[in-house]
Amino acid sequence: MAFFTIYFFVKQQNDYFEEESLRVEAQYIQKQKNILKKEIDYIVNYIDHHVQNNHTISEDELKKSIIKYIETIRYEKHGYIWIHDTNYFLIAHPFRQSKIGTLDVDLKDAMGTLITKKFIDETLENPNGVYIEYYWQKPKEVHFSSKLGFFELYEKYNWVIGAGLYIDDIEKSIFENKKLLEKRIDKYIRQVLLVSSLMIIIIGLMSLLISKKINAVFSNYKNNVEKKELELQDINKNLEKRVQKAINEAKKKDRAMLHQSRLARMGAMLSMIAHQWRQPLSEVSGILMELETANKFNKLDDKLLNDSVDESNKIIQFMSHTIDDFRNFFKPDKKKVRFYVDDSCNEAISLAGASIKSYNIELYKKVKCNAEINGYKREFAQVMLNLISNAKDILNQREIQNPKIDMLVDVDGKNVIVTVQDNAGGVKEEHLDLIFEPYFTTKESSKGTGLGLYMSKMIIEKNMNGELTVENTKDGALFKVIVEM
């Protein structure tokens, strides 16, 4: 029965993999379609905004400005935007500049389809948006690839705006997602098989010991007539039933506990990642708004653009490191390194800088004495980012006049001390004992999960053998991080 149960368990997991693979594929393709539609919707909204708010330049100049901006847009791996008008003339295309302003109706793809005519005709039938598959070359490549495009009509200028993603890029991502899913299910199957095999061995040994004991008892009482023999057989039968019942219940409990543990850990990790990503995403949003404003007032230059790209890449790299940090968070073999505390503080400040400035908050950092500690540099930077973000949120929430955040880096004996203090009035007394508890938050549910300070305390105290505390001062809350050098 044990091997029979294992067989059906493995079969069930394989069936689940097939079903989940189809779901992952459908979900990912829909996600790519949403990306295309989102890009086109953004362009249409961008054009509408500039058309409605244009009071200084002619319509032709405005069109040129819009086209110039659209030709610079890139997304995903090979994504770009192009425009035809409803008379089949090419208006904008980043990789076909020599054809701009020419009649493009004879353009064919690798299958011989008149794709420009198809784009425009089907878009006119579906002005709110239509998906079309065709074959086209990737930028700087010779061979044609299957491509999925999305097209929408901008009626005021009679523009058909298109965006596309290559199917082989999508299929590659789907294949990678399937491989990750397959590895996860295989790992789960191996764990269950290992536990089941150990249980079978244990039960086998138990059965062997019980059988030997019964045989010994049977041998000792061999002369006690058939009545004793029948009583022993009855005892043996009942014992086997109880053992089998206990085995089945133990297996059910083991499976339930394993499933619950896995779900709980996954849920906690997702909540922590969501909390960590909120601030970097806000930073990226701020950078994009700054670029749009600079472009609107014709102040966008190469330096601003390059600086914004570098800053965005840095934030995205931090978000990528965040995934690695959480993936390795529960592993006992993480390698500690020597790093300067002020470097991590500066990294956190740089990530939170744009958001802090947007709320007119002044951040003052004073380094009395910088020192090296042995620990996890990125995790320590995340703790600092959490403390700065929490201070910013409470200052904004309470609408403090002349808001400020003070950060101090110092050394006391063998300990490095970093403090972060705001002037928001402090933590309520009834909340001081609960502030580091998981899921406790004073923010709205859409702005906090109650895991930031809990996670920070775990990083400092469990991973780096330090101490994270909070106290109220006359101005506000003061968080103190103490780590041994």
Task: Identify the domain boundary among 116, 143, 171.
Answer: 171
Q: Is the CB of residue 300 less than 8 Å from the CB of residue 294?
A: yes
Whether residue 148 lies inside any domain: the answer is yes
pLDDT at 332 over 50: no
Whether residue 3 lies inside any domain: the answer is no
State how far the Cα of 8 lies from the Cα of 48, in Å rounded to an integer. Answer: 59
pLDDT at 162 over 90: yes
Give 233-292 pLDDT, tens digit per residue.
Answer: 777 778 778 888 878 886 775 465 445 434 544 554 564 466 557 778 888 888 888 888
pLDDT class of 329 with cuts at 50, 70, 90: very low
Give 100-124 pLDDT, tens digit per residue.
Answer: 999 999 998 888 889 999 999 999 9
Whether residue 61 lies inside any domain: the answer is yes
Domain count across the chain: 2
Rounded average pLDDT over 169-182? 66
pLDDT at 367 over 90: yes
pLDDT at 199 over 90: no
Provide the CATH number for the domain around residue 154. 3.30.450.20
Provide the CATH number for the domain around residue 390. 3.30.565.10
Task: Identify the domain boundary among 119, 147, 171.
Answer: 171
Whether residue 124 lies inside any domain: the answer is yes
Whether residue 474 lies inside any domain: the answer is yes
Instruction: Report the range of poorest mean pLDDT among 61-75, 105-119, 150-164, 205-219.
Output: 205-219
Whether residue 106 lies inside any domain: the answer is yes
Whether residue 218 lies inside any domain: the answer is no
Residue-range definition of the domain harbouring residue 161: 14-171
The pLDDT value given to residue 261: 39
pLDDT class of 26 with cuts at 50, 70, 90: confident
**Overall pTM > 0.85:** no
Whether residue 450 lies inside any domain: the answer is yes
Give 429-481 pLDDT, tens digit per residue.
Answer: 888 888 888 777 776 655 556 677 888 898 899 888 999 999 999 999 999 99
Task: Identify the domain boundary among 139, 171, 203.
Answer: 171
